[in-house]
Every structure is written in structure tokens, then in C-alpha cells.
Structure 1
């Protein structure tokens, strides 16, 4: 199993004191860091007493050269190996120790934002959005996932987020109302193996699979279409629906609809905002709606904040809408009275 895969559920616990070994050092001018640094055949061995020492050492090593992509850091305590990662990833782990601890042990909660039928104004689904349970924690979801990506914990965080969303569906959203759950395709190396935890969680909380929609959240980075097709196929085999996010942005083009055949597509908000004042935007919305209908795909426009935008979406045949016009994310599954807005 590759290096990143080992973090799918395995915690990073760096001891306050121990031994750090750095292998594969290519720099020819490694000088003495201090009298405790032992360098033999390009391998550094260093016994540390505080994490501050480790941070200082790792920053120093990275400053020597930009060619340390091959350098590997091994942390041990006694005879036990605690961590074995690349030098740059290890440095990020030390820099972001508090966020790392929160990703692994912090209390998370799912906030829910309503998704409504464009024609009916009735709540069709909720999107689950990850938050820290303690409002005093000033950590944004972006900061959490970005730190997790840099430190090799994005698989663990993504898995925790999916579990919280499934729990929220069971506890807060009534049966028959769907729940859109974000997932990162880059964290799913082998769908048959990596999604077992998700499917087991669905069974554990007795959630109807057909009420779940797993939504790709990094479609601008889709480089391996065959892999994503495999992920979608695995979800669908379990009776779960799938959605393609940010259609119109990056690599997520209309061609992707034909290649991946998702159950839902979400149109990037940049094509929705002020679409009533931009003919190109309204034409794009109409084109996506037409192609999706022919493929049997439901279309969701996100980021709607004005009634005029809703009217355009309704006119071109878009099925579902989401945005502050209907409600902001909240801890509870709020059922807004949208019929007056739609009407």
C-alpha cells in the first residue's frame, strides 16, 4: 500500500522526545546542526528533547536545498517507529500540530443547507457541510482540508467528514429527503477498499442508500476519468447516487457529463451569479440543462442569492437550486418557506 494510503485512519502522534532520522539526503554540504547531529553516508540521526528542536531541524534541512523531495523522515521512540513520511510533509505536520490534533480528535459536526425544487419551492435535499462543533474554534473547513492535504491526513479527514454527514442524515433529516455529501476523489485510491468504511457506516446508522448523494468536490482536478468512473460505479452499486460539482469550471466540462454519467450535476456559482444580466451565462445554463435532460441527469444551480437568478434557472429548466436565497447552512435541517419565493 502506498505512503498516503497508510493515513486512512492511522493517527499521527509525534512524541515530545525521541529520535529523528532523515534518509536520502542529497545535499553535499550538510553541516553540523549542533553537537547532537550525527551525519553518516547522507543519513542524519538526531536525538531531540522537545518538538521545538524538531521544528528547527526540519526547517533548517528544507532551507538547505529544494532537492529534498526524496528525503524521508523517520521518528522513533525507543524501539518503536512512530512516523515515516517525506521531509516536507513532516515539516508541515510540525508547523500545524494544533490543527493536526483537531483533525484527528476534534469534535466535528455537519451543518445543513437546504436544496429546493426550482418549480415547487419544496425542500428536496440538504447539503452536509463540515464544521467544528465548538463555535469558538476558528478553523474554516478550507483550512482543515488544506492542512490535511499538506500533511497526508486528507483521507482521514474526508472519512471523518463522510461519517459525520451520514450521522446527520440519520438524526436530522427525515427519510425520503436526500442528503448531499462531499467527498474527495483523491482520497479514494481503491474504491473497493477505501469505501468499505462509508458503506459500513450507512448500514450502522440504518440510512437508506437511495437517500444519499455523494458529491465530488475537486472536479477541477479530475485527471483520471477512468478512476472517477470506477468510484461512481462503486457508489451506484450500493444504491447511492452521485453528483458532479462545479460544472463549467476547470476540467469539469459538459463533456464530463457524457463520460461520467452522474445522477446530478451542480453548476458552478460563477455561471449563476447575475445570470439574468449576462447572456453568455444564461445560454450556458440552458445548454447544460438541455444536455442533462437528454442524459437523464438532474441539474442543481448553486449560489443563488437573488430572485432574478432563480427566475432564469426556472426558465431554462434547471431542476434544483441552492443558495442564501433559500437558507444558510445551520445545525438543524431548517425547512424554509420557499413557495412564496418560487411563486
Structure 2
């Protein structure tokens, strides 16, 4: 049995069922350059497709660790059941991870049980709430990298101290928030910022993903700017306990359009 993160024995804080039900919806992250889905992000939903907030609002401080662990297990079990072959991206709560090596045990156990390759796991964390213990978060990210996992900084550009975080943390990916992506094909200021973020990510050897892509124009402008990894309603909405439709024909058509108009 995995040890409790706060000591050598399991405790009521870390064990036992949650007092509410939840499940996952999956949304694809695509790469226009290769016209394929690279990753599916698991997003919390109520059992009847209720919003993420309807579930998260029930998570008290006492339930945080248990909920974080349950989300990982649920996402991996569903991904395996659905036959997912792409990477699986799971959001995690840094404040729920007391010690990475101890808190990863349930993830490793369920991965082994269902035959899920741990190298296909991506852990996303958000910085829209102020990070009060950067050293702890850095320890988590560094530890996950040593274990073979990939990490992603979510909502980049819509929170506290983005650049300050990147001076300390070394995520493998950054996900640019919808606030920067919205209307980027028509907005020179957003274009300038996105070019700068893309250049910064390239210098730091960090993969960049544009979130919240909702229009054809946004998708093409981003692709022409070199930001070919994208996610948003333009491609697919999250689908409850499903990987959704095959996007290959749409992605191939969009890739042809992208490169037909890309300057040599």
C-alpha cells in the first residue's frame, strides 16, 4: 500500500472515498504541423456532465489530497478504457502534493494495473493563483522530470508573475491563455506578445501550446507564427468519457491551407 504523504502510515485525510461523484471529459491538443492529435487533456466534470466548478466547489482543504489522487486514477483508468494512444494530460494541485515520491504512488499503481505507459503522462499546473512556495513547486516539477513525466504550466499570460516563475521553474511546456489568443489574427498587440512568448519559449527550449483557439483565423495565424500546438473549441469541445470524433481529415485540410499560404 502507498504510504501516507505525511508519515509512514495511511491516514483518514489521504484514504477513503470522496463524498461526491465525478468523472472526466477529454479535449484534444493538436499539432497542425503533423495534422494529428498529440495529447488529450482530462477535465473534471460531474457524472451528468455538470461543470468542473460544480465538482471543485465541493473540495475542502481536508479533501484536497484525496481529490487530487482520485483525479489521477480516474483519468488514467478512463484513458485506458477508451483505448487512448496519445499522451494524457492531467491537472494537479501543487498544494495537495506534500512529497512527490509519496504522492505519486497511486498514479504508478493504477498505471501498472491498466498498462498505461508513465512516459505518456503530462502533469499540468496553473499559476492563476499566486504561487507562495516556489521552492516546493520546483521540487515537484524536478522530481516528476526525474521520474520520466512531463510538466506543463497552464494559463500562461493570465496570472501572477509569469516571467518570475520561469526564472525558477523549468516546465516542459507552457500553455498560452485564451486572453492572449483571442482575436490574435486581428490584433497587432496580441500578435506582438505571442511572437515574443514564442521566441522566449524557443530560447528556453519549452514547447508552447495555444489554448482557447475558437476560430479558423486564430488557428491559421498561430500556425503561421510557428505555434502549431493548439487546443480549443475550434477543434473540439471536451466530451464526457469519450475521445470524440476523428479529427484527422479536418487537420490535414487545415495543414494544407496553412502551408499553401506560408511564405517560403
How would you bin the TM-score normalised by the shorter chain?
Answer: 0.7 to 0.9
SS in 2 for 1:246: strand
Counterpart for residue 262 of structure 2:
none
2:56 is aligned with 1:145 = yes
Shift of 1:163: 0.8
Call closer, same or farther: CA 1:257–1:318 in 2, change over 3 Å.
farther
CA–CA distance in structure 1, aligned partners of residues 115 and 127 of structure 2: 28
SS in 1 for 2:158: coil
Count of equivalent residues: 244
String of CA shifts for 1:222-281, please: whole Å, max 9, x gaps: 121111111112211221111011111222513423421111110111111111222221
Counterpart for residue 122 of structure 1:
36
2:63 is aligned with 1:158 = no
CA–CA distance in structure 2, aligned partners of residues 324 and 302 of structure 1: 9
TM-score of the superposition, structure 1-length normalised? 0.66
TM-score of the superposition, structure 2-length normalised? 0.84
On the 8 A contact 2:27/2:237 being kept in 1, the answer is: yes
Which residue among 138, 145, 148 is the counterpart of 1:239? 148
Work out which structure has the larger RCO, using CA pairs closer than 8 Å and 6 or more positions apart in sequence: 2
Segments of 5+ residues of structure 1 without an aligned counterpart are 12-99
String of CA shifts for 1:154-201, please: whole Å, max 9, x gaps: 2212211111111122222433x1111111111112222222222222
SS in 2 for 1:223: coil
Counterpart for residue 273 of structure 1:
182
Which residue among 27, 38, 57 is the counterpart of 1:113? 27
2:252 is aligned with 1:339 = yes
* 1:180-191 alignment, distance < 5 Å: 180-191=89-100
Segments of 5+ residues of structure 2 without an aligned counterpart are 1-5, 258-264
Counterpart for residue 84 of structure 2:
174
Q: Which runs of 4+ in 1 moved over 4 A?
A: none
On the 8 A contact 1:216/1:245 being kept in 2, the answer is: yes
CA–CA distance in structure 2, aligned partners of residues 218 and 141 of structure 1: 18
2:10 is aligned with 1:7 = no
CA–CA distance in structure 2, aligned partners of residues 171 and 269 of structure 1: 31
When the two chains are superposed, the root-mean-square deviation of aligned CA atoms in Å is 2.1
On the 8 A contact 1:110/1:129 being kept in 2, the answer is: yes
Shift of 1:301: 0.4
* 1:205-220 alignment, distance < 5 Å: 205-220=114-129
